[in-house]
Amino acid sequence: MTGVVLVDAGGANLGSVRYAFERLGARVEVSADPGIISSAERVILPGVGAAAAGMARLHELGLVSVLRGLRQPLLGICLGMQLLYESSEEGGVPCLGLLPGRVARMSAADGARIPHMGWNRLELVGEPDPLLDGMGGGEWAYFVHGYAAPVGPETIARCVHGTPFSAVVRAGNRWGAQFHPERSAGAGARLLGNFLSERLQ
């Protein structure tokens, strides 16, 4: 078994995510090899950019069915979280279908600038989740995105920028963080550390 594998799908944040995990003492491998990804103890799908390009890259690498079949913990970060959903309004593209719903363009309600870039507070919702252990709500996280998932039953933390959206989600062994934990100081380090914990199953 390989410890932590970052899916090498061309995301610009790949290096910074790897470094953030290594600071926590994790043994990290970056790979697009289906066998290595399938045998990992933890899998992270990072991503920056557009949904259509991200899905095209996963199809090109032959990783769509691999990611859909994972039984170990999987964490999508930023675009990686959005790709876990059924589809995205960005390019009208079908996504991995691991979470129900459609990612949509954010609304500029109440004068909110789109894309959403900068620090914002997290609000915990729903049942406590081991990914958010040690976080009581109100933590600051760093966001860079113009599309977002709606708040729904899978939402375990939300944020408001113009309108509410999902900041952290969970369905079974699949988690997603819309913000960049690798750039979110203490809150980000806490979330990544919790993802490595044995409590997360």
> What residue ranges do the domains of the chain occupy?
2-196
Catalytic (active-site) positions: 78, 180, 182
Task: Kindly tell me if the per-residue pLDDT of 1 is higher than 60.
Answer: no
The pLDDT score that the predictor gives to residue 126 is 87
**What is 2-196's CATH number, 3.40.50.300, 3.40.50.880, 3.40.50.1370, 3.40.350.10?**
3.40.50.880
CA atoms 46, 52, 57, 59: torsion sign: positive
Nearest-10 crossing angle of helices 14-23, 185-196:
70
Predicted confidence (pLDDT) per residue in 53-80, tens digit? 999 999 999 999 999 999 999 999 999 9
Helix (H) / strand (E) element for 53: namely helix 51-61
Per-residue confidence (pLDDT) for residue 200, from 0 to 100: 78
